[in-house]
Chain A
Amino acid sequence: MNDESFDREPSATASQSAGDLLHWQPPPAPEVASLDFAFATETRITGWNRALERPMTIEVASLAVDHPPPRAIRIPIRQAAIRVRSFQFPQPAEIVAAPAAPHDAETTHHAPRDAVRHAERDEYTRIRPPEDVIKLEDRLNYLLQPPLESLLSDRELAMPFQPFPFQFEGVAFLYPRHAAILADEMGLGKTMQAITAIRLLLRRGEVRSVLMVCPKPLVTNWQREFQLWAPELPTLTIEGDQARRAWQWRLADVPLRIANYEVVIRDREILDGQRTHLAPRDEEHLAERDEYVRPISFDLVVLDESQRIKNRGSTTSEVVRGLSRRRGWALTGTPVENSAEDLVGIFEFLAPGFLSAEMKPRKMGRTVSDYVLRRTKEQVLTELPPKMFRDADLELTPEQRETYRLAEEEGVVRLTEMGDAATIQHVFELVLRLKQICNFDTATGASAKLERLEADLEEIAGSGRKAIVFSQWVGTIRRLSKALRRFGPLEYHGQIPSSQRDGVICRFRDDPAARVILMSYGAGAVGLNLQFASYVFLFDRWWNPAVEDQAINRAHRIGATGPTTVTRFLSLDTIEERIDKVLEEKRELFETIFSGAKGPGKLGLTHDELFGLFSLPGRGGGTKRAA
């Protein structure tokens, strides 16, 4: 180490160090001292060295290791027998297997191909067993069936158009059920769904004889639809004189019969197997022809527009309920028209005793939920053009108002004078008379509704569109027909012979000069496809909203290419306005049963309510339904 470094202050900076070096002095000499390390040493005897020289003694001890030989432990791998449940499924002989020719007809029933996705792997429609199928084997037989899309992809079951997914769901609903109501809103293709389900059942041999019962005007419609959707199915329409019909009913190996309600009523004895219909010559050969005295039974009876049997006391209901059958389906867009009892009436055909009129609507809705399939257009047809309502609230013309006032006053006075002798028929007469005045003044023919209708039709015809006008009276239709001559009106009502009706519809569709068709609710509300008409007018109002809905849905249905505009005429401060309130209540009832929503406090139109339209006290009819 350098000596200079010892004198430098540790905190000196570089500039200070340079100055210090110039005044450096050598350090003083160190002091020296001496120490003596000469210590005295001494040896002591411990005896350790002798001990180290002695030899070691080693002692050995033995310990016995005493343990048992190793043991092998057996761990059995038990393989308990696995319990297996086994099911065999019958392989029914399939019938009605004539191949269907590819159909290239273009109608407006089908879903637009580009709007319908073909069934992909995750979109299959499965057939599920109804709740009333109890036996596990039967339930599995349904669950294990192929998806509908697969069944219908069979070339021999070719369909003319690709159905909508909700239509597949409808077919899957009907197919396994012995009792079912398909209650889709009008225009969703109940016909096609029923035909396809029937087709599959026949094809599988699960049913061999089907009876389709429909209103008379719809027989040709069903014939057409069967030809379209199931061309391989031979159908037989029951018609002609009694002898011919008896022969038709008894024909063997007819998979499908179509009959109207009136024919079924007329032929009840044939169907029941009674002898009274037999001619004497038949009686002589009775021994050889004892099949003539056996009831005719069907595997499946389908009722179209089944609201026809809503009244349990009617002959129609009684006869239809008496049909011998294994399965029963009901098709209707309006299972509840007036009251919950309508549904009870239909169920008396499907499953007698299943419902009672005493059930509350919400409970009834829960009870029937597995038997009824109801979809609305809003739920399933997002592609369908909208339905637009336009309520035309009209003031009566002065002439109409005066006539109306006189008629009402006179009618009410008369009813009041009659006292307890006044019946529901008397009230109806007055209601109908007042409604007719709302359409046309009986004295002068003045009509606020007609004025409005003419104005609207001018615009509709001018834009190349077509319209349907509904009324409940043929007389009104006739008057309208004269007044609207420049629009090429066509008439379709009960006084038009059945044989001419199809021609009327075709002409309305094809003739560009025919801009308007005038229909009665009774004849035109059901089963017709008029989706080429864009406008619907309800010239007067029907008693229940369901029939009005049916009428509207003639135009607003699958195939409609544009929105449907519905104009509901209503004469202010008249009986029509009061009835309209009742219709709204009925609408609420329907919602209560089929959607579980909270319902109205009162149901339908009772005797008391009818009298109440004129502020008259009831006549003991109580809550009995009158309309």
Chain B
Amino acid sequence: MEPPVEAAKDRTKPAIGFLTVIEHPQHGLFGGYLILNFAGRPIEFHCTAPVKPNRAQQILYGPTLDAFLYGEQIGATLLGHAKTNPLAICTDREPALALGDLTDLPVALVLPPEEVPVAGPTSVPPGGQIVLRLDAAHRHPPRLCTFELGRNRLALARGGEEHRQRFTQQLAAAAESFDLWEPFTRIREAIEEAQQAAR
């Protein structure tokens, strides 16, 4: 277990952190971390240069590579640069939940607003016969437990009951009016803008 990410220098503020990672086919991964106050105003923004795993990492981390890159490498690095300690961190990338092992802050996955369709996808096999699913496809046992906060749907890794309680207690008031999915759009645009400026 890695040591916890160094605590931010400033005191904890009524703020929320938003962490996302963008995958670029050529350049690699770009991380972005935005801290907003409860009015949705930006306090800090941090973004990484592109990150690419080397061959050894790809082989040795295997299926845990994404969690390592999103959570330990990018997430922890970005948190280490922040001066403000938010009350909680939201991410829209599931592997970034691994950051929760490295920080005392609760980290939750914000689920997209779209509803999960009940019927499975329509597939057309090579023979041309159309198959319609009337039920949901069999799934793996859920790895995440979901909960609602205001008008938002969040998910935590299994066993994150304590984090769920902290989320609910600390963000309940803000989440009533706060669309926790929206700030990720801002981060993506900001990363793109920063990259354009760097070229």
Contacts and interface: CB of A to CB of B under 8 A. Distances in A.
Interface string B19-54: 000000000000100101101111111111101001
A482 interface: no
A143 B179 contact: no
Main secondary structure, interface of B, reads: mixed
Contacts of B43: 88-89, 91
A84 B47 contact: yes
Contacts of A75: 56
A83 interface: yes
B190 A86 contact: no
Interface stretch (A145-153, A486-494, A580-588): A145-153
B81 to A, nearest CB: 5
Main secondary structure of the interface of A (DSSP, over half): loop
A147 B182 contact: yes
Interface in A63-106: 75-79, 82-89, 91
Contact of A146 (B41, B60, B78): B41
A57 B81 CA distance: 83
B193 A121 contact: no
B179 A121 contact: yes
Interface stretch (A134-142, A416-424, A503-511, A530-538): A134-142
A150 B197 CA distance: 28
Interface string A240-271: 00000000000000000000000000000000
Top-6 shortest CB links A-B: A146-B40, A83-B49, A144-B42, A87-B45, A136-B197, A82-B77
A136 B39 CA distance: 23
Interface of B: 31, 34, 36-37, 39-49, 51, 54, 56-57, 60, 73-74, 77-78, 81-83, 113, 177, 179, 181-182, 185-187, 189-190, 193-194, 197
Contact of A136 (B37, B113, B194): B194
Contact of B54 (A78, A146, A154): A78
User: For chain A, which range describes its interface: under 10, 10 to 19, 20 to 34, or 35 or more residues?
Assistant: 20 to 34
A140 B179 CA distance: 20
B194 A145 contact: no
A83 to B, nearest CB: 4
A87 B46 contact: yes
A201 to B, nearest CB: 14
Nearest to A76: B56
Contact of B45 (A126, A144, A151): A144
A87 B39 CA distance: 19
Interface of A: 75-79, 82-89, 91, 121, 124, 126, 136, 139-141, 143-147, 150-151, 153-154
A154 B39 CA distance: 9
A78 B46 CA distance: 23
Contact of A89 (B42, B56, B185, B194): B42
Given A82-B48, A121-B179, A150-B40, A144 B74 contact: no
A60 to B, nearest CB: 47
Contact of A143 (B40, B51, B81, B189): B189
Nearest to A77: B56
B34 A121 contact: no
A139 B46 contact: no
Contacts of B49: 82-85
Given A121-B113, A140-B190, A144-B190, A82 B51 contact: yes
Contact of B193 (A78, A143, A151): A143
